[in-house]
Amino acid sequence: MPDQTEILILKAKKGDTIAFNKLVGGWYKRIYNFGYKYFSDHDQAMDITQKTFIAIHKNLVRLESPQKFKGWLYKIALNYCREEDRKQKKKWILPFVNFKTEKEEFVFNAYESDLDDPEKSFQKGELAELMAKALGKLNSDQRAVIIMKEYECLKFKEIAEVLNISENTVKSRLYYGLKSLKAILNKWNIKHQCYYF
Amino acid sequence: MSNRPDQSTLISYLYGELDEQENNKVKAYLEENLEVLKEFEALQNTRSLLSHLEDVPVNQPFILNTDHSGFTRQKNPQVFWQRWSGVAAALLVILISVVVWQLNFEIENNELRIGFQDQKTPPAIENDPVYSIQNLQDQEEYLKMLVAEVLKEKQENELLEMQDWKSNIHNEVNALKISISQQKSIQLAQKPIPNQEMTELINQIREDNYTAMIKLLEYSNEQQKVYAQEMLTNFNDYLEGKRKKDLEVIEYAINNLKSRTDLKQEETEIMITKLITQLNEER
């Protein structure tokens, strides 16, 4: 029995714009986060998300089977990520405003503040930022595999289809990717025990 | 031959994608070989660190839920044929209804006439000469009647107007008579007032005004005092309430902080104790 996404794809293929809009609504967050984890940059993530859905809209009629939609979607997104990566390597970008360093206004609220465990919340945010940086240090193949497996929860078979490689190669890239990540984190003196004592 | 799981198997085991038999094999091997277990744990720890990078919330794009996407339709031939088959079906229904009801279409003198079967429309009454003469006579009589009615109405209105005018004049004359008689009586009642009486009267009026002013000021002062007192009391109550609430918030925050600090201290003490015992054991 076809699931909700498959029904929407079939309707969208027939020209039902409402179904296509629903499809976009359902996958927008996932593709944005895929792009965000790939680049650690909001603008680039937004850019690839928009490009991906425009491409989907243009070529949805050509999609043979709705079951292949997920892999196809990530394949397009990944291609745009790589394209953006290549463009980025060619030019030297200096951000005009560094939003992350801007201080947010502090408003104290005893009932809703991080008073419960401010240390932990600070650590959590700090670690997330470091993990994003560490992911950025990996090569693009390993990074893509880790993001697809760890955050997008794709099966090895699906990742293999997206990348057009064998399942064993996917696993191998994931293995070495995790090892490289560990080495980077060790270099920065970030260990599992630091955050889980 | 070594049963050591290769990278691929280890990764599948890490993500729980091995079948039960393979899973048990790897589990048993890891229990026996600490080196591989360490390697596996390192991978597991890296994964758990990765879980700290959570999804970023993003607003969904503004989507118009309309069916007006021109370029989609152009590219989809099925939609095109669906639309034209609808038009064809509508035309077919019209044709069938024409045949079934035997509708008759006629165009004469810039007029479109739709009729059932072959019934011919009756000739226009306007073209009948007998009818037109009778109609003219009727119209003439009707016009005469109208003129007579209008004249009669006019006369009646004139009579009524005359009566109204007469009564108005009569009223006005009476009013003038009354006013003249009143003026005469006032002139008779008026006498010259002496200066002394006049000054006394003015002084009296001044005194009355003065006392009235004092009373008014006293009254307004009292009112103002009452109002100010009420306002101060209300403000005091509000400040008291606010202070109590602030104190409650501060107390809650301090208690919370204290309990967390105590907990942290306890955890640290436990950690130190464990470390000391471990060190002692090692010695």
Site from A41, A154, A182 to mutate, B interface, most B CB atoms within 10 angstroms: A182
List the single residue in B with minimal CA-CA distance to A143.
B50
Average per-residue pLDDT in chain B?
82
The CA distance from B99 to the nearest CA of chain A, in Å, is 36
CA-angle at A186, arms to A180 and A188, nearest 5°: 110
Per cent of chain B over pLDDT 90 is 25
Give A24's contacts in chain B (Cβ within 8 Å): 60-61, 63
Please indicate, yes or no, whether residues A93 and A132 belong to a single structural domain of this protein.
Answer: no
B139 shares a domain with B117: no
CB burial of residue A99 (10 Å; 0-12, 13-18, 19+)? exposed
Mean pLDDT of chain A: 83
pLDDT of residue A110: 43
- What range defines the domain where residue B22 resides? 7-50
Q: Specify if A136 maps to a domain.
A: yes
B54-112 pLDDT per residue, tens: 888 887 766 655 554 444 445 566 777 888 889 999 999 988 888 888 777 777 777 77
What pLDDT, on the 0 to 100 scale, is given for residue A130?
A: 87
Model confidence over A156-197: pLDDT tens digits? Answer: 999 999 999 999 999 999 999 999 999 998 888 887 666 654
Looking at the structure, tell me whether residues A94 and A7 fall in a common domain. Answer: yes
The chain A residue lying nearest B73, using CA atoms, is A15
pLDDT band at B136 (very low <50, low <70, confident <90, very high): confident
Q: Model confidence at B182, in pLDDT bands (50, 70, 90)?
A: confident
Residue where a domain terminates, one of B92, B121, B150: B121
From the candidates B72, B247, B260, which should be mutated to test the interface with A, based on the most A CB atoms within 10 A?
B72
| B63/A21 touch (CB, cutoff 8 Å), yes or no | yes
Q: Are residues A23 and A62 in the same domain?
A: yes
Tens of pLDDT, residues A89-140: 776 655 555 544 444 444 444 444 444 555 666 667 778 888 999 999 999 9
Do A76 and A33 lie in a common domain? yes
Contact at CB, A128 and B63, closer than 8 angstroms: no
| DSSP assignments along B74-127, one per residue | HH-HHHHHHHHHHHHHHHHHHHHHHHHHTEEEEEETTEEEEEETTPPPPPPGGG
In terms of domains, do A64 and A23 share one?
yes
- Return the CA Rg of chain B: 56
Instruction: Quote the ipTM score.
Output: 0.79
Domain closes at, from A100, A135, A160: A100
The answer to whether the Cβ–Cβ distance between B256 and A15 falls below 8 Å is: no
How does pLDDT run across B206-233, given as a tens digit for each residue?
999 999 999 999 989 988 999 999 999 9
Give the total number of structural domains in chain B. Answer: 4
Q: What CATH number corresponds to the domain at position A137?
A: 1.10.10.10
CB B257 within 8 A of CB A117: no
Tell whether A75 and A3 lie within a shared domain.
yes
In a shared domain, residues A49 and A142: no
pLDDT at residue B191, as a whole number? 61
Instruction: List CB contacts (< 8 A) between B43 and chain A.
Output: 175, 178-179, 182
Mean pLDDT is lowest, of A117-131, B197-211, B246-260, for A117-131
Q: A166 is in which domain, residue-wise? A: 117-197
Residues B254 and B271 in one domain: yes
* Contact check, Cβ <8 Å, A168/B8: yes
The answer on A124 and A63 residing in a single domain is no
Query: Taking 60 as the threshold, does the pLDDT of residue A74 lie above it?
Result: yes
User: Of A65, A100, A135, which closes a domain?
Assistant: A100
Closest partner residue to B53 among A42, A131, A167, by Cβ? Answer: A131
Report CB contact under 8 Å: B64, A21. yes
* Total beta-carbon pairs less than 8 A apart between chain A and chain B: 119
Q: What is the CATH number of the domain that holds A77?
A: 1.10.1740.10
Q: Give me the half-sphere count of Cα atoms (radius 13 Å) on the Cβ side of residue B86.
A: 6
Q: Is residue A105 part of a domain?
A: no
Q: What is the mean pLDDT of residues A144-167?
A: 93
Do B244 and B280 reside in the same domain of the chain?
yes
Helix (H, G, I), strand (E, B) or coil at A194: helix
Judge whether residue A78 has pLDDT over 60: yes
Q: Are residues A96 and A128 in the same domain?
A: no
Test B78 with A32 for CB contact under 8 angstroms. Answer: no
Domain count along chain A = 2
